[in-house]
Structure 1
Amino acid sequence: MDTTGILDEALQRLHRTGPERLGWLSNHAPMAVEALAAHGQAGAVHRWLDRYADKLEDPPARVEPVTGANWREALGDIRRAADWTDHFDRELADRPWREVLITWWPRLLPGLYGGATHPVIRVGHAVRTLLTTEDTAPRRAELAHALAYWAARHHPVEGLAPLPGGASALAALDAVRPIGVQHGGFDVRLGRVTGVPGWAATVTDPDEARLRLTELVRAATHRYATHGHGEPTMLVHAATAPNAVLRTLPALPRALWVPSLRAAWTASAAVTAMYGPAAPADWTPPGTFTAEEVFERALAHGDEHVIKLTDTALDVGDERALTAALRSVEMSVPLGG
């Protein structure tokens, strides 16, 4: 991890910007720069940010303070993003960050699907930094911004029917029924998902939940290599959203691991249903590459989703995962391209 202070500088730079642009596209920069720093590329952070700068907007205006009395009313109201940031800044100034996370995780978990799962992914990056590096003010502030974005884009999903599916994560993802609609944004498509395989429904043991979540991240990452062409950008989230939850588990009490698995599975399966192709495609990578070489290719490409999928692929750590990362490089438009 970065010990140069560059990550903190980048986060401070980004905390002067908003969580979205054009009213619905997520600001991926905080997640991408954390991934760069985590993989020894802190020296490239500011250059990458300069390339990304035209995708950044000013933060939204404040509306009304979020308080202990009115926070439920403010959930899911993106107009209140700045109010939520102020709220979490205050909470993190008064209490240790783990206490704040443990309080808010079960409140926010049902709304994992808002913002196309980007808020929980941003939380996962922020938590990884706090768990593995020094606890600094900019890194706590990033957790405040991430939790605030999740609260402001909170979007629950209810009433999904449990469908038949395989015993393994990969078999269950293969059993997901595509919605067969190729138009509409994330929320529109999500509304058309009526059921997902009940692969995680019977899990009750926290240790099994952690193992299943690890299996899901691996399966979704591997599957991108053969199915990512369905929608190369959006299908990234079938892997990165559950990986964000997996990264957060060590900071959470064991009692929250099972519901975390269930929410992560539903999100991954729903994204697979919304964007999955009708059939897989065979693809062979152009040679053999080390993990470091694959990450360097992702950085040179520059696309934020490519960087984040590659970050997850390196967590999985096997050849198939690296193949998926290289596939994303091939299919995605380079940053600035």
Structure 2
Amino acid sequence: MRASRLLSLLMLLQNRGRMSATQLAAQLGVTTRTIYRDVEALAAAGVPVYAEPGPTGGYQLLDGYRTRLTGLTADEAESLFLTGLPQPAAELGLGAQVAVAELKLMAALPTPYRDASMRIRQRFHLDTPGWYREPDAVPHLLAVAEALWQDRVIEVRYHRWSPRPGEITRRLDPLGLVLKAGVWYLVAAERGQPRTYRVSSIMRLRPLPEHFTRPSGFELARFWQEHVERYEQADTDEVAVVRLTPNGIKALPGALGPKAARVALGTLEPADANGWQRATIPMESVPHAAATLLRLGADVQVLSPQHLVTHLTDHVHALARLYPA
């Protein structure tokens, strides 16, 4: 167990450069005291690792040192083929590179590992979009990704639904791309403040000549997790206030999904004389919320925001014209 951890520590320093004992401990799931002992063990084994003091210091390897201890175990080789996402890679323009990398990996693996990896591919497949849902059209995804790789500022024309529907122009510092349930999101800083933008809502994009410096300490995975938690707890401006019948309340988990339904049910107000109850639900976008709430039929009435009410009213009138009495 310790030998595996020592190798992991060595790989972290080799691939990421200087890291503090706290960062290493968090990555390896141990205490900083254990990291101190492991670094001493590496040094005793002849690995040129040294400590840089100070607030921005940490452990690092001597410049130019690289280990050759990069062999894969069978479990590690199998796990690599569980991380393959051919469709997202293709959308990012990396489909050919991923295919070539996998061929090289297959050729390099010993026969038993190669056979195990093939079994994984034959038995597991990841399909990210939800049922009955086509992936969003993302014509500007490649341009976003290119600017992201280059730390280049972009100017986008973006369609937003709240607080007021319409088109807006923004100068953004792209910090990361996230694929969530088949939908691409851009995490970008506007005036130093990271925000989230749906890539399919970008109408025009223009790369600017300026480059930006990524904010120190920014971690995409941590930011996204916090964003998801805020969204699921309805701690956001993107909410809708609705009235629900008892049947609508029962049907809410099927329409919204378990997590969003729990959030909405936690906001239920006492029933009125007719048995209707008010609730607040998280809203990803006006079209998405409208399509979701229409599944509840006459068991729900949207009270706000007004642009969602207007969107639903127009949709219902269009349906009425198709099915006249």
Q: Same fold (TM over 0.5)?
A: no
Structure of larger gyration radius: 2
Tell me which protein shows more strand as a share of its residues.
2
Q: Give TM class, smaller chain.
A: under 0.3
Question: Could you tell me the TM-score, scaled by structure 1's length?
Answer: 0.23
